[in-house]
Structure 1
Amino acid sequence: MSAPVRIGVLGCADIAVRRMLPAFTASPDVEVAAVASRDRGRAEGTAGRFGCRPVHGYAELLDRDDVQAVYVPLPAALHAHWVEAALEAGKHVLAEKPLTTDPDTTERLLELAGKQGVALMENVMFLHHPRHEAVRRLVADGRIGEPKSLHAAFTIPPLPDSDIRYDPGLGGGALADVGLYPLRAALHFLGPELEVIGARLAQGPGRRVETSGAALLGTPDGVTAHVTFGMEHAYLSRYELWGSEGRITVDRAFTPPADFVPLVGLHTSAGTEEIRLTPADQVAATVAAFVASVRAGHAPGADTLRQAVLLDAVRHRSG
């Protein structure tokens, strides 16, 4: 049996404390070695909760020989610096999405990971839920005929005014935070030749970042994707694939709880079939995928880069 991956966490962000540290701790293939913070008290409090060593400062954690891999849950604008520092230190990296705020930097870091022989993985967790592979199989089996279009949406209610996602200096905004999900779903199902045809971003009153948006994308053979997103809306998390002979609907698509019974709706001329799947923990599945990448010494990066290119194109197309 392989030894557990010894991981250190750069920062005490909410997603680290609420989602990822519990998942790391629960995995038999991971040992949480340390948690770092610029605030010594926060490092000590978080490390105490999860039974690991507190470290004062991010650079100090990267200097540790007992840390094999790092998780980076920092604000998006800080990812590039600390991901690069971790890679240069020879650490495997799991970084919160988006990996960086521009495609050139994303490409450079993916190339650096390759040169260093370490895994660099972006934490887009919904991709690891088995429901989406079930959808792919239905499409591959011809259950909806030839795919024609995809509609995907992710919207969430307003956040507290102090939330970092409203701060442009920290890489905030609806596009990178919630727009990434439906856009990545389009990429996942329609393939890397997807291009942005048009886009619109809107900024809510008193905000310094975009708070909603939509984009139209298409493939060379005419399949289209319409993605909608926002962070001052009623909650919606779904996608729908339309084909020449039917359609597939998926609700609670991007952030289902571990005990949620996943449903896939298959709608054809014969009627509607509700396919019930076994509940799955996509956070645990993400941790398992990262462990596998660490042990292989690399992580797939093509879709991460293509996603970064598409996000950038949406922003520029919006004018």
Structure 2
Amino acid sequence: MSRPVRIAVLGTAEFARRRMLPAFAASADITVVAVASRDPARAAELAREYGCRAADDYAEPLADDDVDAVYLPLPASMHAAWAGAALRAGKHVLVEKPAAMSGADAAELCALARSRGLALVENILFVHHSQHRAVMRHVADGAIGRLQAFEAAFTVPRRPASDIRYHPALGGGALWDLGVYPLRAALDLLGSDPGPRLVGATARRDPSDAVDTAGTALLDGGDGLALQLGYGLDHTYRSTYTLWGSTGRLTVDRAFTPPADHEPVLQLERAGVLTHLSLPADDQAGNAVTAFAHAVRTRARPAPEIQRQAELLEAISLSSPAVHRTARPERTGRTPPANPTGS
């Protein structure tokens, strides 16, 4: 068995503490060797908890030969800059979504990863849950006939105003935080080459907010297939998608963030008869960690969805006047070295 991938965590975001650090610790494929934070006390606390060293500079682990890869749970506006710095330093990268906030930045990151033979993986957990493969098997087997339409929505209740999702300089907003999920589900359904094209989009930003808090997008999947996506930061919780076919429809609830002990139930409706299809529980965070370790060991090429997703997100942001767009990463926190390897 190969030795565990030695990973450094750059940032101490709540999601990293709640989902990813426990998943790393539970995996035989990953060893956390460092935690970096602009808050030395926070870094030291997590380092003690996970038996690793603390760093108070994001750049420090990039120069460490004992680090094989980095995980980036930083604010969205910092993803592309720090992912690029890590790749130039020779580190594999697991980066939270979105990997980049423009198609050009995503293309640059993917090209850099390919040229250096490094794994660049966007950490979208739901794609690793087995329920979605079950859905695709049912569709391929003709359970709903010819696919006609796809609808997906991910909405969550409002958080405190201090949350980074409401700060445009940090890449906040409903599109960048939640719109990724239904869009990625559409790309996984149809593929990304060339994938769906944007038809139109709307966004809402209340006067008291600096970012968009809700939005919709309509995409053309070709051959008459319509894809309607919805997302929002000021709603009741909803996490679902439905595939409509010529003879039935198939719905997935708890589609994007199911806990590891959740037992999914697909809803299949045909000829007015509703059937519930029970599936086993699955740990999408654990599966994602295993998949990343495999990508590192095989030096897998970046998935094409990274670039296509970034291009479509950018197109949606530009076509929705209410959306605040951060075109380039803000210089928030420590600035990544322009060329940390000196090459």
Given the alignment, which residue of 231, 250, 253 partners 2:233? 231
Unmatched 5+ stretches in structure 1: none
User: Is contact 1:214-1:226 (8 Å) kept?
Assistant: yes
User: Is contact 1:152-1:239 (8 Å) kept?
Assistant: yes
2:289 corresponds to: 287
2:243 pairs with 1:275: no
Distance in 1 (CA, whole Å) between partners of 2:38 and 2:319 is: 38
SS of the counterpart of 1:261? coil
1:54 corresponds to: 54
1:163 corresponds to: 163
Distance in 2 (CA, whole Å) between partners of 1:304 and 1:80 is: 12
How many Å apart are 1:205 and its aligned residue? 3.1
1:243 corresponds to: 245
1:316 corresponds to: 318
2:327 corresponds to: none
How many Å apart are 1:270 and its aligned residue? 6.8
Kindly report which structure 2 residues correspond to 1:34-53, keeping only aligned pairs within 5 A, or say none: 34-53=34-53
Superposition TM-score, scaled by structure 2 size = 0.91
How many Å apart are 1:156 and its aligned residue? 0.2
Distance in 2 (CA, whole Å) between partners of 1:298 and 1:67 is: 18
1:75 corresponds to: 75
Kindly report which structure 2 residues correspond to 1:134-213, keeping only aligned pairs within 5 A, or say none: 134-192=134-192, 193-213=195-215
SS of the counterpart of 1:58? coil
Superposition TM-score, scaled by structure 1 size = 0.98
How many Å apart are 1:204 and its aligned residue? 2.0
2:112 corresponds to: 112
User: Is contact 1:10-1:71 (8 Å) kept?
Assistant: yes
- Deviation by residue 1:187-215 (Cα, 9 ceiling, x = unmatched): 11133320111100110230000000001
How many Å apart are 1:115 and its aligned residue? 0.7
Given the alignment, which residue of 263, 266, 270 partners 1:264? 266
How many Å apart are 1:148 and its aligned residue? 0.3
The alignment-based identity, stated in percent, is 51
SS of the counterpart of 1:240? strand
How many Å apart are 1:241 and its aligned residue? 0.3
Distance in 1 (CA, whole Å) between partners of 2:156 and 2:118 is: 35
How many Å apart are 1:29 and its aligned residue? 0.9
2:25 aligned partner, one-letter code: T
2:7 pairs with 1:7: yes
1:271 aligned partner, one-letter code: V
How many Å apart are 1:263 and its aligned residue? 1.1
User: Is contact 2:125-2:285 (8 Å) kept?
Assistant: yes
How many Å apart are 1:233 and its aligned residue? 0.4
2:307 pairs with 1:305: yes
- Deviation by residue 1:190-249 (Cα, 9 ceiling, x = unmatched): 333201111001102300000000011112211001111100000000000000011100
User: Is contact 1:121-1:299 (8 Å) kept?
Assistant: no
How many Å apart are 1:266 and its aligned residue? 1.1
User: Is contact 2:101-2:313 (8 Å) kept?
Assistant: no
Q: Which runs of 4+ in 1 moved over 6 A?
A: none
1:243 aligned partner, one-letter code: G
Distance in 2 (CA, whole Å) between partners of 1:253 and 1:33 is: 32
How many Å apart are 1:131 and its aligned residue? 0.3
User: Is contact 1:70-1:93 (8 Å) kept?
Assistant: yes
2:213 aligned partner, one-letter code: T
SS of the counterpart of 2:157? coil
Distance in 1 (CA, whole Å) between partners of 2:37 and 2:199 is: 42
SS of the counterpart of 2:34? strand
1:89 aligned partner, one-letter code: A
| Larger mean Cα displacement after TM superposition, 38-47 or 236-245 | 38-47
Distance in 2 (CA, whole Å) between partners of 1:164 and 1:316 is: 21
User: Is contact 1:250-1:265 (8 Å) kept?
Assistant: yes
SS of the counterpart of 2:257? coil
SS of the counterpart of 2:242? strand
Residues 300, 133 of structure 1: CA spacing in aligned structure 2 closer, same or farther, 3 A cutoff? Answer: farther
How many Å apart are 1:49 and its aligned residue? 1.1
Distance in 1 (CA, whole Å) between partners of 2:259 and 2:221 is: 32
